[in-house]
Structure formats: C-alpha cells, structure tokens
Structure 1
Amino acid sequence: MTKKWFRMALVFTLIISILAACSGGNKEAAPETDGETAPPTAPADPDQYGDTGGLALPLVDKPTTINWMVVSEKTNLNDSLFAKEIEKRTGIKVNFQAYSSATFQDKLKVTVASGKLPDIIHGLTPPELKKIGKQKAVVAINEYLDMLPNFKKMYVDENPWVIPSYGDESGNIYTWPVANINRDVNHGFLYRKDIFDELGIKEWTNTDEFYQALKKLKEAYPDSYPYASKTKEHIFRDWAFGWGIGGANYPTYYDETAKVWKYATIQPEHKEMLDFMKKLYNEGLLDPEFMTDTDDSWTAKMTSGNKSFVTYDWIGRLDLFYNQVKDQNPNYDLRYGNPVGPTGNGKTIESITNGFSIAVANNDNKEASLKLLDYLTSPSGATLVTMGVEGETFKMEGDKAVYPELTDVPLVDISVLEDRYGLWLQGVYVNSDKRSVYFNYTEKEQEAQDKLLNGNKFEPLDPVVNFTDDETATIAEIQTSLKKLADEFNAKYILNKNYGDAQWQQWQAQAEKQGAKQIVDIFNAAQKRLDEATK
C-alpha cells in the first residue's frame, strides 16, 4: 500500500530563507476548530487499554494540544470518537487539520513554504523530507529512541534495515514508517473457473499447463483470445515475478543468488518471458490489444461468455465482476489462479513502508507528538486507529469485528469507519490490527490468500536501498526514457514476427548505451552501503 506525491522544487528554495520560522508550532487553527488548548478529558485506568508496548498512559503530565494535518473528506474530525478517545487515553488533544484529497497537496505545498509546520505532517517525498530534516525543520526520530519503545522494537531491534534504508547518510531518520497495512495477496492471475469446469480444464500448476489451458480454450472458442490484459506496458512488470526478475524497483531487481542488482529487461529470463508471450500472441491466445486495451473493453471481454477467460488484476475483481453479471449469468465464477512462470511465484507485498513520509515538526510539541505516534504503533494504538474501542464501537464475534451501530450499513469498510468514527485516517494510522475489517475477505479473496500463503508462492522481497541526492537525480534522468525504450522494444518483439535473437542483442547493446549499467551500478553502490550499515 505505497502513495505518489508531488514535487516541490520551488517550495524548498523558499524554505531555505524562512527555515527559522519552522521552530515554532503552527498557530493556525484547523479549518473546523478554533485550535485553543483545553484541559484533557479525565483519563481512565491506563491498564484497560491493552498492550501499549511499554508506554505509560497518559503520555503527558499537562494539557497539550497538537496540530495534525491529514487527508480526509470528513470536516468534523475533532468531534470524532477517535479524537476524543486519543485525548482520554493519552492526555493529548489533537487538532486535526483536515483537507480533501483534491486540495491536500496544494495546501501542504503552501504550508511547508510558510515555515509554519503543523506538529505532525505527511505527504512529502523521501528526498524532500530528508532535505528539510537536514535543515532541522523536522526531528530526527532516532535521537529520541529512549522514549519510543514501540519504534525502537519494530524498527531498530526487529528490523535493523529500516534506519539505513529510510534515513539520510548521517544515519538520521525523519519519517515514521507504516507497518502491517498491506494484505498478503492483492493482485494476480484470474481465470473463469466456470468455463474451465465446463470444458474439463484443470487449473494450471506450471507454465506449460497454463499454455495448454489457453490452447484448449481457443479450441472450444475459436473466435476468442483466451488471455486479455488492460495494464498495457505493465504486463511485463506483473509477469516478471514468475520469471524471477520482478521487484518494487522494476525494471531494476535484486538477484538473490548472485547478491547483485540487475536490469530486468536485458536479462535472459526477460527474453524467455517475451518468447513465451510471443508464442501466445502468434497462436491467437493473447489478445492483440494487450498493449492498448481500455478498462471498458477489457471488462466486456472478461464478463462475456466467450471472448476472454484469463487475465491479471486486483482480487476485488473476483466478486465485482460476478455482482455485475450475476443476473444474466448466475454461473459466472472468476477465481484466483496460480502464478505463471518458471519460479511459480507471485509478488511479495512489503509489510513496512515509508510511503506516507509521516514527520514531526521540530518545535515545543515534538516529544508529545513522537510519543503519540509511538502509542499508535503499539498493539493498543493499532487497534484504536483501525478498529475503534472494543465494547463501545465494536465487539468480536469469533474472529470478526462487528459494529452494532452499523447494522444498517450493507458493507462496513474502512471508509465507513472513517466517516462514522474518524478511524483509518490517511497520515494517522501507522500500524494496523489484523482483525480490522480491511482484512475481512470474501470467500474468493480468502482463497487467493490461502493459495499463495499455503504454497509459499512469493518471490523474495528486494532489499530497500537508499540513494544520495546525486544518485536520485541520475536515476530520474535515465530511468524514464530507458523504460520507455524497453516497453517499445517489448511490444515490437512480441508483435513483429521478424523480431528474434538479432534484435534482442541489438536491444541489449542499446539499453547499456542508454544507461542500464549506470543505474545498476548506483543500486549496487547503495546495496554495499546498506550491507555495511546492517552488519
């Protein structure tokens, strides 16, 4: 679950001249409150809140108000159950400054430029956050480990790679990571089980069986293209895991056997994948529109009776498509299939990420803000921010959370919990309780989780390497144009029957000339630094 944030080069030119102002807290009131400090609600017995990871509640010994800038369509967060419960437990009154997703980025840009940072912010890119961190606008979290037992346990003791990977070259980390918010399986190959069963085709367990299944589908439905795709050039990224060349930094990936980073689109495994795709295309098994198809067109193919039967997509589609066509075709049954490719593995989704770039302003409230984030990282805080208050907002029935006040809501999801209770706020949740409704799966989605988990069908996660400013700039300069060239070559190789070994060798030479080796050298230099830091 990583976010894409905007660039702010002009903003940081302004910051240099006004940085001194950052040492003060944000005096502006939240859009929906007056922001005045008020005595906290009398705290209840701190022991009743479960495992706080060693933090003593309340977190402060005097009334404290902090400003927290968040993304939310909800305009009365300060009156929410979550805000009131935080004050009750920790003694900290949170003044949420909520902005819609449409306006948040612009507001963040103006806020950072003003030098008047709220006590907690999020949304900068990692390089942007490191820049203002070095200028002392936000705190180096590692300097406060003695008061942050949950951060220390999770990100120093249990995952010592976090600070070297997310920090700066001096070993300072300015971002509060987010943990346990991703599902184990969220995307993969999907297939029409009803059609497979009708034709007596078993689900594939390897690449050749996948090919044979597509051939049988084509024989039964000659006018069909059994495999359809809507992801355009991303099909190469999605399939790459099955050939052992996928990863979060695709097309750069880490070779676990050789212990080096490589550029995927010039590797022999990539050519093997292209050759397989080319065979599917030549035999009419791969939709000719795989590089150009639209969502609507692809949907029509996958929901009709005889156009396409296999694809790669999000697991929510398993039930979404059925609900869309069940009146016309009650037997429609889209299911999660095994990975395709020699490794037999699918994508591994990271359990820890710095994607939100949550940071604490370097002002008088910094210790209270840090402690609050640490509490939300604890099991007790994770339950509060992603589930609510047991016995008040929810109760457990078996292994499922039930919300008595929401029995009239057809589907209780995280957007409903945000609207009703102020839970699951972007930029606020830093850990999750796996009993949350976010991890409630339908029968088909649970089958997808079980299939990969029980078979351990996951490619290893690549290391998280950290780049210098110069390295980041070089990668940005080379990567976009190089990947575009790779996508163009991939398409030509599959679509043009005359493309073969000679064109492949020409592409390898072209890619090297366009900077593939330079990118790989940067990744390997960063890997060397990470290895040294985590010895």
Structure 2
Amino acid sequence: MQRKGFRTAIAILLLGVMLVTGCTSGSKDDSGTLSPDKPVTFSWLVYDRVEGKVRDDWEIFKEIEAKTGVKVKFQIVSQEGLEEKRQIMIATNTATDFIQVPTQDGREHGPEKVFLNLNDYLDRAPNLKAFYEKYPEAKALATGTDGGLYTVPVLEGDAEGKGFNFIWYARKDIMDQYGIQAPTTVDEFYQYLKILKEKVPDSYPLISNAIVGDTGLYTTFGRIFTGISGFYNLDPTTDQYAFAPYHENYQDMLVFLNKLYAEKLLDPEFSLLTQAQWEERILTGKSLVTFFWKADLESLVAKARGAGTAEYELDAIPSFAAEGIKNYQFSRPVVGTVGRAISAKVKDKERAVQFLDYLVSEEGTNYLSLGIEGKSYTMEDGKAVYNKEFGESPFNALRKDWGVWYDLITLNNAKSREVWERGLSEKSKDINARYEQYIVPAPKQIVKTEEELELEKSKLNNLNKFLEQKVTEFVTGKTPINDTTYQQFIDQAKKLGSDELLAMYNTAYTRTYGDK
C-alpha cells in the first residue's frame, strides 16, 4: 500500500536523526502496581494552546503523582508542528509513552507493534473494561484488524445527544431599535437581511467565518436547503450518507446565496475572510448576522462593549430550513475522532496501563476534566460547578492555570462541557433551551478499511477543492446558474469520484453499525 511505503521511507530517512523520545524511567518490573512508594515517570506528547502553555507545575499532576507515584514528563511541540511530529514518531516507532492519535492510526499501527494492545490487560484494568462496555462505538473505533484495542477514544458529548455547539447570532440591539422580528423561514431570512441592510446601509448583514467546516457558509446553507451538513454527511431522515449537490434543492441554495451576494446582503469577501477579519466586522457592525460557536457569544459582546459600543447586544435567532427539509443541527458526537494510546515500547507496561486505567476512573477524570474540588470547582446540590470567578468562558483559566480541559491531556471533554453549561448565565441557558428542539444525535464515526482510506485519500481532497471553487463561482456570479451549468458541475463531480466516495461511506457505515 502507498501508506506503508511512505512510512517505510520516512523511517529510513530518520534513522540517523532519531528524535529524543520518552522512555519510561523507574521499575522495569511488569508486575509493579501504582503506588506513591514506587515512583515511575512516563513521557507524554502535548502541544501549547493559545490560552496558556503546558506547565510542569500544574497542581492536578502534583496530586495525581501523590496518589499514584506517576510523574508525567511532557514533551511539548507547537500546535503547527504536532501532526508532523506525531507522524514521524509513528513511522519510526519512537512514540512517547502516552500519545494521542487519530483512532484510525491506532487501528492501523497498533497491530504493527507501535501501540500497546490494551486488550491484553483488561483483566487488571477495570475502568478501561467498563469504558469499552459502556461505549461500544469507542470500542469499535479502538479495535484493530487483529482484534486488539489500541486507543481510549476521547469523549466529546453526552450520551443523550443533546449537547450542541452552534447558533445563529444577530445584533439584538439593532433589532430592538427598529422593531425587527427574527426570521423563521428561508424567505423571512431574506427579508430580514434586506431590512437590516436598509436600516444599516454601510453593513453587509450576513457574514461567515469560513466557506466549509462546521460553521462554513456552504455547510450551513447546504443543511438548510438539502438537510445534508457539508458535502458528504449522514441524512438524519434516512440514516444513509448523502452527497448534498445531488439533492434537488442544492441548485436553489446556489441561487439564494447568489441573490444575497448580488444584493450586498452577504459580505462580498466571504470566501477570503480570515478569522480576525470576521471578528472585526462582527464587533464593529460591518456585519450583523452569523452562524458560529455559541460559547463565544458573551465574550464577543464584552469585547464590543469594551471597545466603546455600550449598547452592543447579540442574541440567538431561531434555526430555520427550506420547506420540506428537516430543521436540525447535529449534537456533539459522543465519541471523538482521537484517542489516547500507549507506546508498545513503554518499559513498564503494567503500570502504564494501570495509569491509563486511573485516568479513566472517576477520580482521574475529575482531575483532568474539572481540576481540584474547592479550588477550580465546587459542589452545589451534589453537582460540580466551576468557580464563578472564571466567568462565562472558564476554559481559558482552566487550561492556563490548571491544565484542565486541555487538548491531548483530558480524556473527557463531555464532562467539562456539562459542568461549564451548568454555570452559564440565564441568557445562555435560555438560548440552549430555545435550540434544544433542533438538536439530533450526531452520526457515529465510520471505521474504514485501508482500501477505503486509500480511496478517500485519492479522491476526496481534489473533489472538495473543485466543489469549493465551483460553488464560489456560482455564488459570486462568475459562472451563471442554470440547468446546463449545474449539470456540468455534477458531471465533473462524478468524474472526480463523488459516486465512488458516496458508495464507500454507506458501505463502511453499514458494515460498522449494521444495516438499519
């Protein structure tokens, strides 16, 4: 396979410049158990987040060491260099003792003795055993072709599928000033933008921070018009994967967005905007409506008011969809795309697994997801609440000062989010309540074979580039929208592999979770 050839080439090139990797210090006795009286050190690959750099004096790890005897030695890289470092470590089998990898990498490289087979230790790891029993999707994502378990997938959402990330923002102060009603349909949304443009002539009312991705313009309006979130995704009404441009309404979406562009209701630079430009235009009133992460609403209001716009107010407007299309948003997935693995070369295998088992336990999870009771969180009516001094965005202080809810460290983002939302303002809780009706459980992840991954690798990137370019041409009017040009668009997508990819996604989904 091409992937194996590539890995072999990397390994040969790097033999002479082998990176310093985490080697376990302490006992080599595999019969050892976790104990403060038997210290051991494990290395752990991490990266520095913008909220705060990784520190070796975080109090949670001092307490963990006092309880278990395990000292963690972080090997730190930049966020930009993380993926390259990780791939080099995998290719040369020089991973740190603990490392977070895509679950696919765990399934693929675990049987090659890059990662430790956790299945061999479950009789001594009760928390891991219970984890796989409670989350069968996580077990499926962790299982290699040899039946081994090679990762502990990170939890992202609640099992009920109610937690969600995104809302429609709108300038409530302007709506109140002019008595503008929130839209509930596609036609009302168009009229709503026209009224905003009339009242604030210097604005381009609608803005998006990207064209694709979770909050991308094409993703958002693709779901509104076709019920498919993104180019490929699960259709919640059929439980089958679909390709959005094949839907009869996709051409209508292009016409709608082109109308917004032509009438200056959509930011004319929508396809080129950086995150900083998006934020600047939202804060200064150059744009008034956007679809974005709900967690940022309060902080944006604070920034605008701090910059001198005292009356600035954002609020959520309802989700909407085209006639006959399900009005929904996917919840956060319960199980994420990445998982914690242990290097197969770790010296003290027993204690490495026992440490991972401890981190999955309630006590270990509380340290990584909540911090220390009485310091970073308190218990109210039997439930954890983050310190109120952290405000509406506790994750900044938690990550910087405590190492809590920190990517590549925590194993349970769902628990952190649950506690965060418990301490939200009444306004934020009200927004959550208003959006609950739109939320449906996120699709479960697909477990692809190596052949399916090769197909995706060979086709998807080029297809996506074509789709992004062509849809932008339609929206901006560079290519006229009619039946002929749209059929040409579909024909070219087919040539680039849209049918093959669609068949592959449905085959892999059915194989992974059964024919429903």
Given residue 489 of structure 2, which amino acid in structure 1 is its aligned partner? Answer: W
Choose 476-485 or 167-176, whichever is displaced more.
167-176
Using the TM superposition, give the Cα deviation of residue 309 of structure 1 relative to its aligned residue in structure 2, in angstroms: 1.6
8 Å CA contact retained: 1:163, 1:172: no
**Number of the residue aligned with 2:235:** 255
Structure 1 residues 101 and 17, CA, compared in 2 at 3 Å: closer, same or farther? closer
Given residue 68 of structure 1, which amino acid in structure 2 is its aligned partner? Answer: S
Given residue 155 of structure 2, which amino acid in structure 1 is its aligned partner? Answer: A
Identity over aligned pairs, percent: 24
Q: Distance in 2 between matches of 1:76 and 1:66?
A: 17
Q: Distance in 2 between matches of 1:171 and 1:37?
A: 29
- The alignment covers a number of residue pairs equal to 489
Q: Distance in 1 between matches of 2:489 and 2:327?
A: 27
Which residue, out of 139, 142, 150, partners 1:163? 139
**Number of the residue aligned with 1:196:** 175
Using the TM superposition, give the Cα deviation of residue 350 of structure 1 relative to its aligned residue in structure 2, in angstroms: 1.0
**Number of the residue aligned with 1:229:** 208
Using the TM superposition, give the Cα deviation of residue 357 of structure 1 relative to its aligned residue in structure 2, in angstroms: 4.7
2:66 is the counterpart of 1:88? yes
Q: When the two structures are superposed, what TM-score results if normalisation uses the length of structure 2?
A: 0.81
**Number of the residue aligned with 2:151:** 175
Structure 1 residues 133 and 227, CA, compared in 2 at 3 Å: closer, same or farther? same
Q: Distance in 2 between matches of 1:512 and 1:278?
A: 24
8 Å CA contact retained: 1:178, 1:353: yes
**Number of the residue aligned with 1:293:** 273
Given residue 64 of structure 2, which amino acid in structure 1 is its aligned partner? Answer: I
Superposed, 1:32-43 pairs within 5 Å as 35-36=25-26
Q: Distance in 1 between matches of 2:371 and 2:127?
A: 20
Q: Distance in 1 between matches of 2:336 and 2:96?
A: 22
Which residue, out of 31, 53, 65, partners 2:40? 65
Structure 1 residues 412 and 467, CA, compared in 2 at 3 Å: closer, same or farther? closer
Structure 1 residues 499 and 113, CA, compared in 2 at 3 Å: closer, same or farther? closer
Which residue, out of 473, 479, 489, partners 2:454? 473
Given residue 262 of structure 1, which amino acid in structure 2 is its aligned partner? Answer: A
2:117 is the counterpart of 1:140? yes
2:360 is the counterpart of 1:385? no
8 Å CA contact retained: 2:107, 2:141: no
Given residue 161 of structure 1, which amino acid in structure 2 is its aligned partner? Answer: E
> 2:115 aligns to what SS in structure 1?
coil
Using the TM superposition, give the Cα deviation of residue 127 of structure 1 relative to its aligned residue in structure 2, in angstroms: 4.3
Given residue 150 of structure 2, which amino acid in structure 1 is its aligned partner? Answer: Y
Using the TM superposition, give the Cα deviation of residue 421 of structure 1 relative to its aligned residue in structure 2, in angstroms: 4.0
> 2:439 aligns to what SS in structure 1?
coil
> 2:318 aligns to what SS in structure 1?
coil
**Number of the residue aligned with 2:195:** 216
Runs of 5+ consecutive residues of structure 1 not aligned to the other structure: 1-6, 20-24, 30-34, 39-57
**Number of the residue aligned with 1:47:** none
2:443 is the counterpart of 1:462? yes
Which residue, out of 434, 438, 449, partners 1:451? 434
Structure 1 residues 465 and 492, CA, compared in 2 at 3 Å: closer, same or farther? same
Using the TM superposition, give the Cα deviation of residue 332 of structure 1 relative to its aligned residue in structure 2, in angstroms: 0.8
Runs of 5+ consecutive residues of structure 2 not aligned to the other structure: none
> 1:195 aligns to what SS in structure 2?
helix
Which residue, out of 341, 356, 366, partners 1:373? 356
Given residue 282 of structure 2, which amino acid in structure 1 is its aligned partner? Answer: M
Q: Distance in 2 between matches of 1:85 and 1:298?
A: 42
Using the TM superposition, give the Cα deviation of residue 426 of structure 1 relative to its aligned residue in structure 2, in angstroms: 3.3
Superposed, 1:92-491 pairs within 5 Å as 92-101=69-78, 108=86, 111-112=89-90, 115-122=93-100, 124-156=101-133, 158-180=134-156, 184-233=163-212, 234-243=216-225, 245-247=227-229, 250-305=230-285, 307-326=286-305, 328-342=308-322, 343-361=326-344, 363-391=346-374, 394-396=377-379, 401=385, 413-432=394-413, 433-434=415-416, 436-437=419-420, 440-453=423-436, 455=437, 457-491=438-472
> 2:445 aligns to what SS in structure 1?
coil
Using the TM superposition, give the Cα deviation of residue 310 of structure 1 relative to its aligned residue in structure 2, in angstroms: 0.9
8 Å CA contact retained: 2:446, 2:509: yes
> 1:268 aligns to what SS in structure 2?
coil
Using the TM superposition, give the Cα deviation of residue 12 of structure 1 relative to its aligned residue in structure 2, in angstroms: 4.7
Structure 1 residues 431 and 285, CA, compared in 2 at 3 Å: closer, same or farther? same
Q: Distance in 1 between matches of 2:475 and 2:13?
A: 54
**Number of the residue aligned with 1:500:** 482
8 Å CA contact retained: 1:301, 1:308: yes
Q: Distance in 2 between matches of 1:231 and 1:514?
A: 23
Structure 1 residues 495 and 105, CA, compared in 2 at 3 Å: closer, same or farther? closer
Q: Distance in 2 between matches of 1:291 and 1:75?
A: 32
Q: Distance in 1 between matches of 2:27 and 2:141?
A: 37
Choose 256-265 or 517-526, whichever is displaced more.
256-265
Q: Distance in 1 between matches of 2:197 and 2:393?
A: 41
> 1:161 aligns to what SS in structure 2?
helix
8 Å CA contact retained: 1:179, 1:430: yes
**Number of the residue aligned with 1:22:** none
Given residue 350 of structure 1, which amino acid in structure 2 is its aligned partner? Answer: P
1:467-499 deviation digits (Å, cap 9, x = unpaired): 122221221111111111112221222232831
Given residue 199 of structure 1, which amino acid in structure 2 is its aligned partner? Answer: Y
RMSD (CA atoms): 3.8
8 Å CA contact retained: 2:377, 2:384: no
1:452-475 deviation digits (Å, cap 9, x = unpaired): 22x2x1244223111122221221
Using the TM superposition, give the Cα deviation of residue 338 of structure 1 relative to its aligned residue in structure 2, in angstroms: 1.9
Choose 464-473 or 380-389, whichever is displaced more.
380-389
Structure 1 residues 451 and 138, CA, compared in 2 at 3 Å: closer, same or farther? same
8 Å CA contact retained: 2:138, 2:152: no
8 Å CA contact retained: 1:243, 1:269: yes
Using the TM superposition, give the Cα deviation of residue 96 of structure 1 relative to its aligned residue in structure 2, in angstroms: 1.8
Q: Distance in 2 between matches of 1:194 and 1:153?
A: 50
Q: Distance in 1 between matches of 2:188 and 2:346?
A: 61
8 Å CA contact retained: 2:337, 2:445: no
Using the TM superposition, give the Cα deviation of residue 397 of structure 1 relative to its aligned residue in structure 2, in angstroms: 5.2
